[in-house]
A and B are shown apart, each in its own frame.
Chain A
């Protein structure tokens, strides 16, 4: 296919950023519409991507490949398979929705804000479509920069602290990845950074080399996921970031970690995957149960949802660790599902915070009476998040359990406890905020606006859609996941 759809999706936001930077200071309205326009195009393109994608094969599709720096074996190599297509779609969707949400949220330094937001989208799109380590690493690092400024400038609370913590922590992780990449580069003949070629060659390397490199990549991806004990940047960054940025952080950035595991670590280092299976499963179990228990102690709504991400990403890791088709499919489902649900929850928290200027769970009560639509949506997404059947969260958790049980006969039943604790903390929150007697202090709260509803409804439709008809997504990822498993058990 000659049409460079992936490059367009990646670089149109960059073009948008440049255009926005050329606008005159003070034309906030124009900037907003421009940002919406330049994120809407990738969304349209992502629909084309979905419709043209051939789910029957695990081949890389939409390939664009040119020599870039031939002397170092670096190519410009973009491509998508069943793993990246859903992620690209999710990125385009959440990117667009968070721009729309930011219309009302951001009132100062509007131009710079949207410029950074667009740059962020460039990085994320690039990570999910780059198939050359050089390119991959560039995009991986590009993401940090706008994120740092978005949290540090437009955040709340201890924003500078959180921004620096996020930046340094992830940079720390990616340095290990750099070491891993260099190690691979120099140990493979001929020297190459092409991920697809490396996948074919790395299993021939020595066992100890595979284990070491796996560990190096593990640190990089574990920080992003985040896996216990690398998770403490997450609550700080999520809570202090502006709403739209939290959405992207939870919805997409965390998936970069699991994407890395599935794209790089597992196919490249089958020995590492086997050797570290039990430790990773134990860490996943800790993530699930520990994350859920910590959620229960939270008084701040946003922080609770941030920690719930820790718990939910644990299911992803559990599914990956087992290296079965069902488990990894469950993981991909969970990646999509968590992006939709947690994205929506952060949007809704933002809606409330904008009106009430507090996020303390205990400060509210009986909101269902005053804000029926808002409460209905919030409860819907909470139920989705706690894994109620009919919504995407259930399918992914169930698939993870089914897929990983044969491999971990003790760990999985323990992880199921997380399901109950998750239900407990969500119901506690629902009860404290939406049920019970109405706290008259909030008499003046206004109902969620049409624009805000517009941002969450697509997410609700997809959440229920995947929950009721999982087949389309399953068919899309099936061949790719089978290929990953095939590569990872070599």
Chain B
């Protein structure tokens, strides 16, 4: 019954093909096709979620794609509750971003191309979500990488933009290296690419524990790359160079969600390999803390949001590593809405002020009320304030962390919650309140058109209410829909709720005090702790570090291999062999002309000398010859007679 779900990714693909080949010249038509396709997909995704709610048994459809002896790849779709939720999230955010882009990209010469790429992006992500096996998920995984490359570098005339695209692609591909190896290890051990068959093999213990752990860790490397986890997080902040709707899409529903989705999808493997799960949780924990701390001091509105994404993704990865399947996916679901809203709001602000630097904004609240209010709603939600959706999902995460024997995860979780509240409200206060810092930009600022603000309002609505499906007191909420092995009903932990809310509120208050009331001077803090500030401001020097320890050596190595080894040694050997042959032939030439040929010529000249002596007796006089004959005859006769 759900087999029609393959239409969901197909529609954006068709839109992409149509735009590229037919309607490229007609901007309006192109955007309408693109939006129409994704909206249709959204309707289908709603149907899917409704029918999965009715009948939560996972369903799978597949056909054989490639069949060789011992190697059979099937392509198909797997629909369970996780897929259904993800389809809904991706389609919702994607269609709102599509609509928003009509306003944001107005007047861009490559308007149609932008929409075609957006469609391709949606196609890839939807395909990824529906995939039922490792090959298929990898195919779409790479396509997501490609489209993000194209979209981040959309304004490719800007070097920073094309650099960022390249960086995103190469960094995520470095993670994919591990992903491929992980697939190789796991599928070789299990003998199948199919998720459910593999999970079955894992659950029945067919895969040796060591191999399983190794495979799981390698597999996780793919997620580290895509979901911008430490140490491969460096591409995500740079990806801000793309148009803002793209950032919204990348950060909220596509691309970075893929990594989290992968870990959630392969949860069975991590549950069976606790060591690997611990690695996952630790990486998530480190990432959450590191990114949040960097976010505290950044000045670019989108960069702050980027680090907040990394940090929130770290949350999700951490909780998945701790076994919190429901909590992780729940946060992925709520985060998609408020993060999309934050980015689209930021886009609206940037659109109005033509700058990314928060210190050139300020006092924008009266000029762009819708943007400001929705932005603040999203900030409250991400900060985890009761009763917005962020509160419920964050609470779930902290509950799971509190069950883990080692309190480090819980402590970091709460700390990160506080930091998140602080930097989000720092952003709000600096951007929307206070005095305008750049009068010129302030006067230019204006509220964005309806096509941009309506998506903001829809997302704001979702940011408030989407999380309510996961309220712990609801018996048939999120936890009984998306779960692993058995329905999850979190016991509401009131102490934790109160603590986390207090921490968040104090974060907000600190931001209020520093950036609104100015009772604490941020400048003084900066001067007091110059070293931590510098380290945070320079993002722990990751980019510089990678430049020194990875990129430069590789470039040097490649230059060395080419100039010294390839041209210098291998080719020189080849040429040397050639030259040696030439030398040998010279030696042989001398030997030939002086010794071998000398002998030949010697014999010839001997014959010649003899001949030139003897020819003198040839007088040509017939009579001489006759005389000799006669004389000879006489001699013979005399000889005979005697």
Contacts and interface: CB of A to CB of B under 8 A. Distances in A.
Q: Do chains A and B touch in the complex (CB under 8 A)?
A: yes
A435 B574 contact: no
Contacts of A420: 170, 173-174, 176-177
Contacts of A368: 156
Contacts of B578: 165, 168
B143 A232 contact: no
B153 interface: yes
A435 B162 contact: yes
A298 B555 CA distance: 11
Contacts of B159: 436-437
A309 interface: no
Interface residues of B, number: 51
A294 B558 contact: yes
Contact of A427 (B71, B169, B177): B169
B187 interface: yes
B157 A294 contact: no
A388 interface: yes
A329 interface: yes
Given A325-B69, A401-B184, A402-B184, A436 B142 contact: no
A73 interface: no
Given A401-B180, A416-B181, A420-B174, A232 B571 contact: yes
Interface string A225-262: 00011011100000000000000000000000000000
A436 B161 CA distance: 8
Contacts of B554: 293, 296, 421
Contact of B68 (A398, A436, A478): A478
A481 B574 contact: no
A353 interface: no
Contacts of A471: 64-67
A431 B566 CA distance: 26
A420 B562 CA distance: 18
B548 interface: no
A169 interface: yes
Given A297-B562, A431-B162, A435-B153, A412 B143 contact: no
Contacts of A428: 166
A423 B166 CA distance: 9
Nearest to B153: A435
Nearest to B567: A232
A474 interface: yes
A28 interface: no
Given A294-B561, A406-B188, A471-B66, A438 B574 contact: no
A197 B314 CA distance: 64
B135 interface: yes
A163 interface: no
Interface string A174-209: 000000000000000000000000000000000000
A100 B146 CA distance: 32
Q: Is the interface of A mostly helix, strand, loop or mixed?
A: helix
Given A326-B70, A424-B170, A431 B163 contact: yes
A419 B177 contact: yes
B138 interface: yes
A228 B177 CA distance: 24
A413 B181 contact: yes
A423 B187 contact: no
A388 B142 contact: yes
A79 B170 CA distance: 45
B7 interface: no
B187 A402 contact: yes
A325 B70 contact: yes
A367 to B, nearest CB: 10
Interface stretch (A105-113, A123-131, A337-345, A389-397): A389-397
Nearest to B571: A232
With most chain B CB atoms within 10 A of its CB, the pick from A232, A394, A438 is A232
Contacts of B184: 401-402, 405, 412-413
B562 A232 contact: no
A6 interface: no
A366 interface: yes
A411 to B, nearest CB: 12
A155 interface: no
A423 B170 contact: yes
A475 B72 CA distance: 12
A324 interface: yes
Interface in A280-303: 290, 293-298
B66 A436 contact: no
A290 B143 contact: no
B71 A325 contact: yes
B522 interface: no
Contacts of B566: 232, 294
A293 B159 CA distance: 24
Contact of B177 (A231, A417, A470, A474): A417
Contacts of A231: 570
B411 interface: no
Contacts of B59: none
Nearest to B167: A427
Given A232-B574, A294-B566, A296-B554, A416 B180 contact: yes
A108 to B, nearest CB: 29
A325 B68 CA distance: 7
Contact of A398 (B64, B135, B165): B135
A399 interface: yes
A294 B562 contact: yes
Given A401-B180, A474-B67, A233 B153 contact: no
Contacts of A470: 65-66
A390 B139 contact: yes
B367 to A, nearest CB: 34
B169 A388 contact: no
A403 B71 contact: yes
B516 to A, nearest CB: 41
B163 A326 contact: no
Contact of B138 (A389, A423, A474): A389
A438 to B, nearest CB: 7
A477 to B, nearest CB: 9
B574 A297 contact: no
B387 interface: no
A390 B143 contact: yes
A20 interface: no
B143 A389 contact: yes
A293 B555 CA distance: 8
Given A297-B562, A325-B68, A420-B173, A369 B146 contact: no
B563 A478 contact: no
A307 to B, nearest CB: 8
B180 to A, nearest CB: 5
A165 B574 contact: yes
B315 to A, nearest CB: 28
A395 B139 CA distance: 10
Given A424-B170, A475-B67, 18 more contacts: A168-B578, A232-B566, A232-B574, A293-B561, A296-B555, A296-B558, A326-B68, A388-B143, A389-B138, A398-B135, A402-B188, A405-B184, A405-B185, A427-B169, A431-B166, A435-B153, A436-B162, A482-B69
30 contacts: A165-B574, A165-B578, A168-B578, A228-B570, A231-B570, A232-B566, A293-B561, A296-B554, A297-B555, A297-B558, A297-B561, A325-B70, A326-B68, A329-B71, A366-B156, A366-B157, A383-B146, A389-B140, A394-B142, A398-B138, A398-B180, A402-B71, A405-B184, A405-B185, A416-B181, A431-B162, A431-B166, A436-B157, A471-B65, A474-B68
Q: Which 4 A-B pairs have the closest CB atoms?
A: A435-B162, A389-B139, A297-B562, A296-B558
Interface of B: 64-71, 135, 138-140, 142-143, 146, 149, 153, 156-157, 159, 162-163, 165-166, 169-170, 173-174, 176-177, 180-181, 184-185, 187-188, 554-555, 557-559, 561-563, 565-566, 570-571, 573-574, 578
Interface of A: 165, 168-169, 228-229, 231-233, 290, 293-298, 324-326, 329, 366, 368-369, 383, 388-390, 394-395, 398-399, 401-403, 405-406, 412-413, 416-417, 419-421, 423-424, 427-428, 430-431, 434-438, 470-471, 474-475, 478, 481-482
